[in-house]
Amino acid sequence: MTTAAKSPADALIAKAQDRSALIGIVGLGYVGLPLAMEFARAGYRVLGFDVNPKVVDGLGEGRSHIQDVPQAEVAGFVKAGKFAVTADLARLSEPDLVSICVPTPLSKTKDPDVSYVLAATDSVKRTLRRGQLIVLESTTYPGTTRELMLPALEGTGLRVGEDFFLAFSPERVDPGNPKWNTRNTPKVVGGITETCRRVAVAIYQPAIARLVPVSSPEAAELVKILENTFRSVNIGLVNEMAIVCDKLGVDVWEVIDAAATKPFGFMKFTPGPGVGGHCIPLDPHYLAWKMRTLNYRTRFIELAGEINADMPVYWVARVVDRLNERGKAARGSTVLVLGVAYKKDIDDVRESPALDVIRLLRQRGAVVQYHDPHVPTLREDAVELKSVPLTAELLQSVDCVIIVTDHTDIDYALVAGRAPLVVDTRNALAAVRGKGDGE
């Protein structure tokens, strides 16, 4: 059989095998750029799309704006002709795979905002051609791929599974994780048809170490939501346990560490000031919203979300109580927030509980400063803050330090030894406990 006589599916699979397929990535953020690098590393040519001109210009000149993607890697692939970037969505007709990695935020009422997905789908629809594979990677509610994307794309007159192929493959990015990255994290793939799934697996296989095919895009959509709902519920449980232990006068960290010695039936989660990032605070709400449309209330999801969202309030109250014990009011006191990224050793502040902690402290009248080696500037409530150097003089001058993000490159011995009062939401002072006046 000649290449011209092959079906669109077989032709695309052949292109995957010889790496002649052109890969298109729509959205070059925390998900899209690492994925683009893996495709380029696998031998594909990659064309990235982004609507932000700064991102397009920077990447085009070989500069990375994502902490986990080395600049030398981007520059190397650009120079080798393996990676190019454009803002021209009319060029979406060129790639054989169009992977959509755009944001899926929540509205103020906790409803999914799929406007970015719809905009990307409309752009793809305008240029869709025979033989293309379209994959949505953005986390969303079950049914998005089939109910929103499929009708739009089939509106072109092309038939899914025959002329073009459509699948959902959820991103599983964990920024700052030194062990698990885009390549070695198993990737779930669910196609509208069996042929769609087969084509998607063939395209991704050279770039991803292990693929996990599932029966439908709905199953794949639910996989990601289940993963982060599991984490949200368990984090909510240990956050509530932290409050319980506080009221009982018991060390929650001691209880958790002792429970974790059980070799079965227990998985260790740790409490903190809340949850952040673009996954755990948002993903469970996609499912909760979908179930409300089917007249079902997801009680575990909603309760966990309430507990996690209230943790900044709890910890700010602890700061106020500890200041009161020293005869100081929150109003007029200087509080140093240590760490503002949503988790340690990264520069991402999306949905970070530190933002709420800062806002609540300022509402109480406190003078708030922050130190974060990964986040030099921060904008909160239209006010721009700058990270202050962590020195012995600074620590001695403030009334309280609240540790919100436990970055590994912070001198906690210095904090414990020089700060007059420390409220530790992460148990970061465990190694130096007893050297300062912490929680």
Domain extent listing, the chain: 3-215, 251-432
pLDDT higher than threshold 90 for residue 5: no
pLDDT confidence of residue 105: 87
pLDDT value, residue 108: 72
Q: State which amino acid sits at residue 363.
A: Q
Question: Fold identical between 3-215 and 251-432?
Answer: yes
- Given a contact cutoff of 8 angstroms between Cβ atoms, the answer to whether 86 and 47 are in contact is yes
The Cα 370–Cα 92 span in angstroms is: 43
Segment holding 150, helix H or strand E: helix 150-154
* pLDDT tens per residue across span 321-360: 999 999 999 999 999 999 999 999 999 999 999 999 999 9
Side by side, the strands of the sheet bearing 334-338 are: 367-371, 334-338, 400-403, 422-424
Q: If residue 125 lies in a helix (H) or strand (E), which one and from where to where?
A: helix 115-127
pLDDT in tens, 292-327: 999 999 999 999 999 999 999 999 999 999 999 999
Q: What is the mean pLDDT of residues 122-147?
A: 97
Average pLDDT of the residues in 257-261? 97
- Summarize the confidence of residues 273-278 as an average pLDDT: 86
Candidates 297, 312, 97, 82; CA nearest to 201 is 97
Percent of the chain with pLDDT over 90: 89
Model confidence at 438: pLDDT above 90: no
List the single range of 2-11, 45-54, 67-76, 246-255 with lowest mean pLDDT.
2-11
**The pLDDT value given to residue 437:** 46
Separation in Å, CA 374 to CA 220, 330, 349, 408: 33, 27, 10, 11
CB 117 within 8 A of CB 104: yes
Picking from 397, 387, 433, 390, the residue whose alpha carbon sits closest to that of residue 413 is 433
CA distance 214 to 234: 26
CATH number of 3-215: 3.40.50.720
Cβ(212)–Cβ(30) below 8 Å: no
Closest CA to 87 of 127, 53, 115: 53
pLDDT tens sequence across 183-194: 999 999 999 999
- Give tens-digit pLDDT for 10-24: 999 999 999 999 999
pLDDT in the model for residue 282: 84
CB 329 within 8 A of CB 162: no
Contact status, residue 232 vs residue 301, Cβ threshold 8 Å: yes
- What tokens were used for 40? 């380029």
Flag whether pLDDT at 435 surpasses 50. no
Region 267-284 average pLDDT: 88
Retrieve residue 88's tokens: 């021209």
What is the torsion angle, in degrees rounded to the nearest 10, for the CA atoms of residue 147, residue 153, residue 158 and residue 164? Answer: -90
Q: Which fold has domain 251-432?
A: Rossmann fold (3.40.50)
Closest of 80, 79, 72, 83 to residue 33, by C-alpha: 83
Task: Please tell me the predicted confidence (pLDDT) of residue 173.
Answer: 87
Catalytic option among 101, 196, 245, 279:
279
Task: Identify whether 279 is a catalytic site residue.
Answer: yes
Q: What pLDDT score does 80 carry?
A: 97
